[in-house]
Amino acid sequence: MILDNATVPLNVQLAELFRQRIVKGVWKEGEKLPSLDKLVEEFEVARVTVRQAVDRLARDGLVSPERGRGTFVTGAPSSDRWLRVETSLRNLADVYRDTHPTILNIDESARSPRLLESDGVAASQYVYMRRVHAHEGRPYCVIDIYLDAEIFARHPVRFRRETVIPLLTAMPSVKIRTARQVLTISTADLEVAHHLGISVNAPVAEVRRVFTGPKRRVIYLGEVTYRGDFVHVEFDLKA
């Protein structure tokens, strides 16, 4: 079996596979899709499943069924990969500063993060903020932030209204000794899918960021889930 019915409906999985073929140019604009029978044979699914998958793409304007002729590719998904995953603290601060995201705070409390021994030493107290960032009206990430309560208390109003990293890096009183992030490819759970407007199990990029100050004190932990279709990762490889 190419598809797995235990997770996402077959027609949704099939529509995503078709979408990727259009994105990658396997099915080019103006070309006719393989016949219904060929797609049924290739993917080992019912005819109704293929029709439902094609209908999903037709609603998105990617294909156009023509009576008596077949289904033709009429367009490609727009590229929304504007969000580059930066590999330096300065560039990361610039990304959040330049995009001016709309911030929706959905939770705030006093809560301790789950820290690894390699992360550093925990502060005595953290302020937890869960928020959604949006760009041009479209949500692109859900972020869980744990900020040292002593630092939060210096600018509580600004930390609630602004993106944390540019504000944190601009504070003369805050010394960031180390900054580390790890990126993992995953899939969206029900809650993340709801906040980001994507399907359950859609691809997402999970980034865990840890900043430490003097004496390895963890002053910031950010756990971010980005929409996979917005993210662009680029690295210079050393010879």
Residues 53 and 115 in one domain: no
> Mean pLDDT throughout 195-212?
88
* CATH label of the domain that carries residue 41: 1.10.10.10
What is the SS3 string spanning the chain? CCCCCCCCCHHHHHHHHHHHHHHCCCCCCCCECCCHHHHHHHHCCCHHHHHHHHHHHHHCCCEEEECCCEEEECCCCCCCCCEECCCCHHHHHHHHHHHCCEEEEEEEEECCCCCCCCCCEECCCEEEEEEEEEECCEEEEEEEEEEEHHHHCCCHHHHHHCCHHHHHHHCCCCCCCEEEEEEEEEECCHHHHHHHCCCCCCEEEEEEEEEECHHHEEEEEEEEEEEHHHEECCCCCCC
82 pLDDT higher than 60: no
Most confident range, picked from 19-23, 170-174, 193-197, 226-230: 170-174
Residues 146-158 have pLDDT tens digits of 999 999 999 999 9
**Is residue 4 included in any domain, yes or no?**
no
For the chain, the domain total comes to: 2
93 pLDDT higher than 70: yes
- pLDDT at res. 88: 74
Residues 162-176 have pLDDT tens digits of 999 999 999 999 999
CB atoms within 10 A of CB 78: 7
* CATH label of the domain that carries residue 142: 3.40.1410.10
Higher pLDDT, 82 or 211: 211
Structural domain for 179, as ranges: 83-232
Residues 56 and 146 in one domain: no
Residues 185 and 126 in one domain: yes
> Mean pLDDT throughout 119-139?
92
- pLDDT at res. 169: 92
Confidence of residue 211 (pLDDT cuts 50, 70, 90): very high
Residues 102 and 35 in one domain: no
- pLDDT at res. 2: 56
Higher pLDDT, 118 or 85: 118
Confidence of residue 213 (pLDDT cuts 50, 70, 90): very high
> Mean pLDDT throughout 223-235?
82
The residue out of 52, 73, 94 marking a domain boundary is 73
**Is residue 97 included in any domain, yes or no?**
yes
Residues 31-47 have pLDDT tens digits of 999 999 999 999 888 99
Confidence of residue 102 (pLDDT cuts 50, 70, 90): confident
Counting Cα atoms < 13 Å in the Cβ hemisphere of 116 gives: 8
**Is residue 2 included in any domain, yes or no?**
no
What is the pLDDT of the chain when averaged over all its residues? 86
Q: Of 84, 83, 82, 95, nearest to 169 (Cα)?
A: 95
